[in-house]
Amino acid sequence: DAMVIQNPRYQVTQFGKPVTLSCSQTLNHNVMYWYQQKSSQAPKLLFHYYDKDFNNEADTPDNFQSRRPNTSFCFLDIRSPGLGDAAMYLCATSRDFQGMNEQFFGPGTRLTVL
């Protein structure tokens, strides 16, 4: 089955220690998104890639970076995690950025910051 895979499912890091979250897709979609979701809140878009074009949301902190080395993979780097960065991180894909295309989500990575 075509799908969106996130690794690891659970990640524990220490305050200030860089961490990388991974996402891969077998859907061959053009767009990949990273969302941050805190408890009982809506997913908050951090950034997205349309193919190789990176699009950052205006309110995404500089502490968050992303890489998309090829169509299938996308990484979220948190350079110096703070306690407030503890959250579920969701990766999603869509065929195109036009709004009629639904997004396909991975299972998420739950990040704990000690």
Partner 1 sequence: AQSVTQLDSQVPVFEEAPVELRCNYSSSVSVYLFWYVQYPNQGLQLLLKYLSGSTLVKGINGFEAEFNKSQTSFHLRKPSVHISDTAEYFCAVSDPSGGFKTIFGAGTRLFVKA
Give the footprint of partner 1 on this chain (CB under 8 A).
4, 6, 40-43, 45, 90, 92, 97-100, 102-108, 110
Spatial contact of 6 and 73, defined as CB atoms under 8 Å apart: no
Please say which residue, 79 or 101, places its beta carbon nearer to partner 1. Answer: 101
Please say which residue, 79 or 112, places its beta carbon nearer to partner 1. Answer: 112
Q: How many CA atoms lie within 13 A of 46 on its CB side?
A: 25
Q: What 3-state class would DSSP assign to 83?
A: helix
Please say which residue, 27 or 45, places its beta carbon nearer to partner 1. Answer: 45
Please say which residue, 79 or 107, places its beta carbon nearer to partner 1. Answer: 107
Q: Which residue has the tokens 């074009």?
A: 53
Distances in Å between the Cα of 37 and the Cα atoms of 27, 28, 43, 79 are 23, 25, 4, 18
Least Å distance between CB 84 and partner 1?
19
Least Å distance between CB 59 and partner 1?
13
Least Å distance between CB 108 and partner 1?
5
Q: What 3-state class would DSSP assign to 85?
A: helix
Least Å distance between CB 90 and partner 1?
6
Q: Residues, the chain, total?
A: 114
